[in-house]
Amino acid sequence: MVIFNPVKREREFNHLGIWRWIPLLLLLVFLSSCSALRQSRLSPLETLIKEAKSYSGVPYQWGGNNRKGIDCSGLMVNAFRKINIQLPRTTEEQMTVGKKIRLKKIKPGDLVFFALTEKRRKISHVGLVSDVLSGKKVKFIHASVSSGVTESSLDSDYYRKKFRMARRLEIPE
């Protein structure tokens, strides 16, 4: 017959050295919860840009709207959905939302529109401004036919010539 001896059990437990690991485990739990809190403190603008950048490298697919393949307007729909803003699905429809702004007033979160086809007036491409460096150099995220989702500079000759307009949506603080 086996008799349960709590004192012997406690000595065996202590012998394994379990107690010395408890402070480390508590520290790990605390640090992981701090990390989760930091992530949840992103502003809607930071969340928007982070979401768009998370698609970097996803190949271009006309009409695509997921991580297997995406087009420029689908990328905008998915990024804005992350901050609970619904955008229309096509570039043509997206260029009617928000307020039109001048290029020198552009800031992160704005949409930039381009005429990439031979018909220089027909807007066919959209990107999201991700950064404005020293007030002039504008970087934007978009789904490029040749490179997939990438970040480009509005200062490049190609995009500067094709730029048509910028629009600003109301992004909550």
Indicate if 142 belongs to the active site: yes
Q: Is residue 59 domain-shared with residue 10, that is, in the same domain? A: no
Q: Is residue 79 domain-shared with residue 50, that is, in the same domain? A: yes
For residue 173, is it within any domain?
Answer: no
Total tally of structural domains belonging to the chain:
2
Cα separations in angstroms, 116 against 88, 137, 155, 161:
20, 21, 16, 9
**Is-contact 111 99, C-beta < 8 A?**
no
Long-range CB pairs of 88-93, under 8 A, 24+ apart, other chains included: 89/65, 91/123, 91/124, 91/125, 91/126, 92/123
pLDDT of residue 143: 98
Of the residues 48, 70, 72, 149, which is catalytic?
72
Q: What is the pLDDT of residues 59-75, one digit of tens each?
A: 999 999 999 999 999 99
Of the residues 125, 129, 140, 162, which is catalytic?
125
CATH code for the domain of 149: 3.90.1720.10
pLDDT of residue 164: 95
Q: What is the pLDDT of residues 82-122, one digit of tens each?
A: 999 999 999 999 999 999 999 999 999 999 999 998 766 79
Of the residues 83, 142, 159, 166, which is catalytic?
142
Confidence of residue 136 (pLDDT cuts 50, 70, 90): confident
Q: Token match 């704005």: residue?
A: 110
Q: Is residue 98 domain-shared with residue 153, that is, in the same domain? A: yes
Q: Is residue 10 domain-shared with residue 26, that is, in the same domain? A: yes
pLDDT of residue 118: 74
Q: Is residue 124 domain-shared with residue 72, that is, in the same domain? A: yes
Indicate if 34 belongs to the active site: no
Confidence of residue 21 (pLDDT cuts 50, 70, 90): low
Indicate if 15 belongs to the active site: no
For residue 26, is it within any domain?
Answer: yes
Supply the range of the domain harboring residue 25.
6-40
